[in-house]
Amino acid sequence: MFSPRIIDSDAFLEMSATAQLLYFHLGMRADDDGFVSNPRRIIRTIGVNEDDLKLLLTKRFVLGFENGIVVIKHWRINNYIKTDRYQETVYLEQKNQLKIKENGSYTEYTQTECIQNVSTVDTQVRLGKVRLGKVNIKSGVFTPPLLEEIKDYCLERKNEVNPEQFVDFYSSKGWMIGKNKMKDWRAAVRTWEKRSNNFQRVITKL
């Protein structure tokens, strides 16, 4: 049910015990695609609080949707369900907003991918409806990145940005930049990178 790759990671073990407990309960109650329709009822039942769910969302152990449904990001890493026993989720609208990464975890389609998919879609009209494939282009909801994703991106760019400080800073601000909701966390990392480089140049001149 739960892969050691996930629950033994530093990112998971650094969370509060109540957030970890909530993750386990969500995993036990998820459908065969990892979707949970009633996370807040589970929160009330097991005696944890909304902050634990927010932490799971911030750390990206679960992904959230506007209607309150959540999905276990690493569901396919945690579980293998035989084809003859598998029952697809009823939350197809939410499932169609996701893609599966090479490592088996869920992630959201980017806006660029949505545009590319729509541009190549079969435009044949059947029964008066345009077939738009499985991409929901209306979804532009920002979901905070997982700490590990930020670490990987910083390593890829070989910068001096501290991923933990980055997460703590924007988590405390509700992932807002000024008065606006963050749209691209990678762009924010690059901004921090530029500031760090400028600071290093100033120190070098002193």
CB atoms within 10 A of CB 183: 12
Summarised one tens digit per residue, pLDDT across range 65-85 is 989 999 999 999 988 888 888
Flag whether pLDDT at 156 surpasses 50.
Answer: yes
Distance of CA 146 to the CA centre of its chain: 7
Which pairs count as long-range contacts for 129-134, CB under 8 Å and 24+ apart, including other chains? 134/96
Can you tell me the distance from the alpha carbon of 2 to that of 78, in angstroms, rounded to the nearest whole number? 5
Residue pair 60/144 in contact (Cβ under 8 Å)? The answer is yes
Band (149; pLDDT cuts 50, 70, 90): confident
The tokens for 165 are 């400080």
Picking from 4-8, 130-134, 152-156, which range would have the lowest pLDDT averaged per residue? Answer: 130-134
pLDDT, position 70: 96
Mean pLDDT of the chain: 82
First vs last C-alpha separation in the chain:
56
Can you tell me the distance from the alpha carbon of 141 to that of 183, in angstroms, rounded to the nearest whole number? 8
Summarised one tens digit per residue, pLDDT across range 128-137 is 444 333 333 3
- Secondary structure letter of residue 37 according to DSSP: S
Mean pLDDT of 114-121: 50
pLDDT, position 109: 83
Question: For the chain, what are the domain ranges?
Answer: 1-112, 144-206
pLDDT, position 65: 93
Among 73, 49, 42, 76, CA closest to 59: 73
